[in-house]
Structure 1
Amino acid sequence: MIALSLAEIAEILDGELRPAGADSAQTVVRGPVDTDSREMTPGAIFVAKPGEVTDGHLFVDAAVAAGAVLAIVERPVETEVSQIVVADAVQALADLARAVVARVRAAGRLRIVGITGSNGKTTTKNFLARILADEGETVAPIRSYNNEVGAPLTMLRVTERTRYLVCEFGAAGQGGIAHLAGLVEPDAAVVLMVGLAHAGGFGSIESTARAKSELLQVARPGGTAVLNIDDPRVWAMRAVAEDRGLAVVGFGQGEGAVVRAEDVVVTASGTSCTVVHADERFPLQLQVLGAHHIGNALAAIAAAGVLGVPASVAAARLETVEIAERWRMQPMGNERVRIINDAYNASPDSMAAALRTLAQITGPGERTVAVLGAMTELGEYAGEEHDRIGLLAVRLNIRRIVVVGPEARRLYLAVVGEGSWDSEAVHLPDQDAAFEYLRGELRDGDRVLVKSSNSVGLRHLGDRLGELFS
């Protein structure tokens, strides 16, 4: 974080400053900000956020022992460091993030990119951060820090030297993206796709589209909207962008895209295409598996172009990215048994894309194996979407379908109903049972996809299988 006095922070947060020890209102702090006492380092600022399971106020002492020099709290606590008492710790995070980013932006060259979409946010964020890192100091979220806590924590990592801030915005309901993105008003607003991920929180895909369009409504006037021309709901958002005074850049495989892909090829060693930009045509060879990641790459190239990075330069940098993120199409195992651990998240769109990738990368004499868990947060769509994925798995001729957990039973029934039975499909109660089954079932030449929503936890099963066949 940038250097601020205790008095300045208290004023920004409309909080009550309680100095301790040798501190005064003029004492300056500039350490990192976090809500996790385990992440504290010398000079850090600890935000004691109440949670559903525990309360951050219980960990102030642990934070101080680890090096924290300031605690932001909702009630006074007994501690040896200064504290600022605020009405709402989460709101305090947002207020501090807004103020810090505004100061850095006013003082220097800071450019900000915001990314949203039902799928692909984290991969696109990582792609773009890789491109921009060679241009100057770049701050981007760790993992999927895209909610009301994670997004401000990312923003608070900017310093006077930061040139680029890449933000990822998710939301559990209407108004969430507008609130988070409104803290920084991105110069470039990237919308990837509108799908059924988290549909249970929005009620319908139309409501999801309205939520994603909030990013454009709070983007910096005079900035740029980077929109997926292949998704009709996203491309329709150009009207929102124009109302905001944004230029529009389309990406995708459709005609009219400013950054376009042709000749997409998916193999076990990666994904390739030809990128077309203006009068240029150049190859892109991603190490990351899956045709769906071409769209994420095009979005990153287009966003980087808004910031002045030539498309061919951006593409060359993307070719150095080995994996999108841990547990996202992550290759594991060995040449005999290859594991693709893609179980950090799952929606109907990402599940279908992963299954298609599995089918595409499996050659003659090799066997496809899909280990599938439930897709969560789909609300009323859950049943029919699990049915659809089960049907797709059979129609893609996936040779072994292993369904894990009671929440995914509907998927298994759809597989059986489509004609896959005997040893072709099994339903197992939990990860341990699945691991024991797969340990005896997998053989040389198997190509194995592990896919589920994060809360189901099959990523850990994928890790175990990767280690078993390493």
Structure 2
Amino acid sequence: MDLSTAHQVADWAGGELIGSASVVAGPDVVTDSRQVTPGAVFVAIAGERVDGHDFVAGVASQGATVAIVERHVDAPIAQVVVADTIVGLTGVARGVVSAARTRGLTVIGVTGSSGKTSTKDLIAQVLAPAGPTIAPVGSFNNEIGLPLTACRVAADTQFLVSEMGARGLGHVAFLCTITPPSIGAVLNVGHAHLGEFGSQQVIAQAKGELVEALDAEGWAVLNADDPLVAAMASRTPARVAYYSALGEPAAGDRRVWASDVAADDLQRFSFTLHDGDASAPVRLQVLGRHNVSNALAAAAVGLCAGLTLDAVTAALSAATTRSKWRMQLDQRADGLAVLNDAYNANPDSMAAALAAVAQLRRPGGRVVAVLGDMLELGADADDAHIQIGRLAASLGVDELVAIGQHAEALVRGYGGCGRPGRYWSDKELATADLIGRVTGDDVVLVKASRGIALETVASALLREGTR
């Protein structure tokens, strides 16, 4: 945020100020004491394991000038006392964004069951050449991460990209009150968090809250290839831009699509990008066919934001992976290729990753999939893991290493293909076993839900070859 005062912070947070009203606050707003910078506003959040109030005195000595707290702390720092510090943080973010919108800030909201973070990264790289752009680092898409990102908006910020996750009805609608979107992109309605929502129809209802938050001057960017997303056009007063990886959409105030889709040997795709009657070539640096759809969403956002087709295609062709552990391809000294997509997983993203790695097979080498649990799938979890195991077998994966509570279901689905499938409850044991059997000609996919933290397997495989 721009440099402000403790009084302004208190007004935005809706709390009682104890201390000097004129003390300078900003530009950083943080919840982690390790990230404090001179002038920072520190939000003390009481978590299950750590209470931020215990660090207020320490952040004061580090140079923070304002603390948002739920109780007054004996520390030499101006304090804004609120009933709930997360609500206080939300108020500050809402105030920062509201002020910036009067100066011309364009807010882009992005939601979907999968691909949000990768698409957010592409959108940010498309918009950045046109003006200062703020986007989340990693997957800051909840009631804490989104306002922290919004608080980074400054006087010169032209674009704010807000990634919006949802674990229930009303979540996206609430996030839209913090960062009211001018452009809203809905990527897909898949099976992520199916255990919490109950059905894809309820997921669609939740994701569609983004386009309901738009006004008539805004743009709803919708995936024409997903019927549940395409149908959201009826839920918004905004103009509709449809995008498709399968051909020209049949309707829409704007139509964006790909033709001549082709891949190189590392599964980096090129295509012709169409915007109505205009077209231009794109050669992606990020890998995987699913990124064609993600790139089309980013292109549609950029075009709706006023960028030229040439500017959009140039930015997409130069874009790289910015968030770690998402289709991150690394090679060991002996040539072993590790595709680290371990940040998160659901049936749709798991299928996309398997399809991508199956195309990376090299002469004389094997394709090995190290897969962990897909969490939050509810009663259908076992069946979903069985289906992924079957898919791995059908795609020709040479070996499946399954880790976690649903590992046996993965191997059960994979079984019958005549190739080795092993399941483990302990990822360290699985890693030790695998290290002794992979070679420099192999390619290994590592993927699971965030709670399984399989990036440690990827790191161990890559580290082994450097000893």
TM-score, normalization by structure 1: 0.94
How far did 1:26 drift?
2.9
How far did 1:445 drift?
1.7
Paired residues, number:
459
How far did 1:439 drift?
1.3
How far did 1:468 drift?
2.6
Distance in 2 separating the partners of 1:324 and 1:291: 18
Residue among 231, 234, 251 paired with 1:239: 234
Q: Which one-letter code corresponds to 1:273 in the other structure?
A: F
Residue among 428, 431, 449 paired with 2:427: 431
Q: Which one-letter code corresponds to 2:421 in the other structure?
A: A
Q: Which one-letter code corresponds to 1:103 in the other structure?
A: A
How far did 1:129 drift?
0.8
Q: Does 1:251 align with 2:243?
A: yes
Q: Which one-letter code corresponds to 1:81 in the other structure?
A: I
Q: Is the 8 A contact 1:374 1:456 kept in 2?
A: yes
How far did 1:28 drift?
3.2
Aligned to 2:84: 88
Q: Does 1:134 align with 2:129?
A: yes
Q: Is the 8 A contact 1:404 1:427 kept in 2?
A: yes
Aligned to 1:333: 331
Distance in 1 separating the partners of 2:133 and 2:202: 33
SS of the aligned residue for 1:297 comes to: helix
Distance in 2 separating the partners of 1:361 and 1:266: 11
Aligned to 1:346: 345
How far did 1:440 drift?
1.1
**CA deviations over 1:81-102 (Å, ceiling 9, x no partner):** 1101001111111111111111
Residue among 237, 252, 257 paired with 1:260: 257
**CA deviations over 1:112-154 (Å, ceiling 9, x no partner):** 1000000111111111111111111111111100000000011
SS of the aligned residue for 1:322 comes to: coil
Aligned to 1:393: 392
Residue among 276, 279, 286 paired with 2:277: 279
Aligned to 1:13: 13
Q: Which structure 2 residues correspond to residues 31-46 of structure 1 after superposition, within 5 A?
A: 31-46=27-42
Aligned to 1:60: 56
SS of the aligned residue for 1:151 comes to: helix
Distance in 2 separating the partners of 1:36 and 1:420: 50
Aligned to 2:457: 461
Aligned to 2:288: 290
**CA deviations over 1:360-395 (Å, ceiling 9, x no partner):** 222443311111111001112211110110110111
SS of the aligned residue for 2:96 comes to: helix
Q: Does 1:306 align with 2:298?
A: no
Q: Is the 8 A contact 2:134 2:157 kept in 1?
A: yes
Aligned to 2:252: none
Q: Is the 8 A contact 1:367 1:447 kept in 2?
A: yes
**Percentage of identical aligned residues:** 41
Distance in 2 separating the partners of 1:41 and 1:391: 51
Q: Is the 8 A contact 1:374 1:452 kept in 2?
A: yes
**CA deviations over 1:194-251 (Å, ceiling 9, x no partner):** 001111221211111100001111124420000000000000000012xxx2000011
Q: Is the 8 A contact 1:331 1:340 kept in 2?
A: yes
Aligned to 1:379: 378
Stretches of structure 2 that go unaligned for 5 or more consecutive residues are 250-254
Distance in 2 separating the partners of 1:280 and 1:105: 31
Q: Which one-letter code corresponds to 2:292 in the other structure?
A: I
Distance in 2 separating the partners of 1:83 and 1:251: 48
Q: Is the 8 A contact 1:110 1:165 kept in 2?
A: yes
Aligned to 1:229: 224
Distance in 2 separating the partners of 1:103 and 1:220: 19
Distance in 2 separating the partners of 1:238 and 1:331: 37
Distance in 2 separating the partners of 1:221 and 1:82: 42
SS of the aligned residue for 2:221 comes to: strand
Distance in 1 separating the partners of 2:155 and 2:319: 28
Q: Which one-letter code corresponds to 1:383 in the other structure?
A: D
Q: Which one-letter code corresponds to 2:125 in the other structure?
A: R
**CA deviations over 1:284-303 (Å, ceiling 9, x no partner):** 11121100011111100110
Q: Which one-letter code corresponds to 1:115 in the other structure?
A: V
Alpha-carbon RMSD across the aligned residues, in angstroms, is 1.5
Distance in 2 separating the partners of 1:212 and 1:420: 41
Larger mean CA deviation between 310-319 and 67-76 belongs to 310-319
Cα 1:267–1:66 shift into 2, 3 Å: farther
SS of the aligned residue for 2:208 comes to: helix
SS of the aligned residue for 2:446 comes to: strand
SS of the aligned residue for 2:351 comes to: helix
TM-score, normalization by structure 2: 0.95
Q: Which one-letter code corresponds to 2:299 in the other structure?
A: I
Aligned to 2:407: 408
Q: Is the 8 A contact 2:37 2:63 kept in 1?
A: yes
How far did 1:62 drift?
2.6
SS of the aligned residue for 2:406 comes to: helix
Q: Which one-letter code corresponds to 2:392 in the other structure?
A: A
SS of the aligned residue for 1:134 comes to: helix
Distance in 1 separating the partners of 2:91 and 2:22: 20
SS of the aligned residue for 1:436 comes to: helix
Cα 1:11–1:98 shift into 2, 3 Å: same
Distance in 1 separating the partners of 2:246 and 2:270: 17
Larger mean CA deviation between 92-101 and 314-323 belongs to 314-323
